[in-house]
Amino acid sequence: MKRVTLNGIRRRGLIHWKAREWWCRQRVHIWSAEHHAWWRTAAAGYTDQVDEAGEWDFPAAFDHVKHCGPEKKICFDQATSQ
């Protein structure tokens, strides 16, 4: 499983992020290290079970969390169901 952080993307800048094109084709789960849990489908709460986690296209997942601050410690995990 591959993982990238929202803060890492911000540090590099979305335009200059070299892995951008690969990630844009991926399905991902959204992880919050602040809550030690994945976001549920439709961003309706959290779960510690990956099989209950929501799954999004990376661009949609990014849109869901781009407003989040660094305290949320958001990560995108490549979904294994690909």
Residue 36 DSSP one-character state = T
Least trusted range by pLDDT, from 17-21, 48-52, 60-64: 17-21
What integer pLDDT is reported at residue 75 of this predicted model?
95
pTM of the model: 0.85
Q: Mean pLDDT over residues 3-22, rounded?
A: 82
Give the closest residue to 61 by CA, choosing from 14, 6, 10, 8. 6
Residue type, 53: A
Q: Which residues, in sequence order, are bridge partners of residue 27?
A: 57
What integer pLDDT is reported at residue 82 of this predicted model?
46
**Helix/strand/coil (H, E, C) string of 47-73?**
ECCHHHECCEEHHHHHHHHCCCCHHHC
Instruction: Quote the tokens at residue 45.
Output: 């709460």
Largest CA distance in the chain: 33
pLDDT in tens, 27-58: 999 999 999 999 998 778 999 999 999 999 99
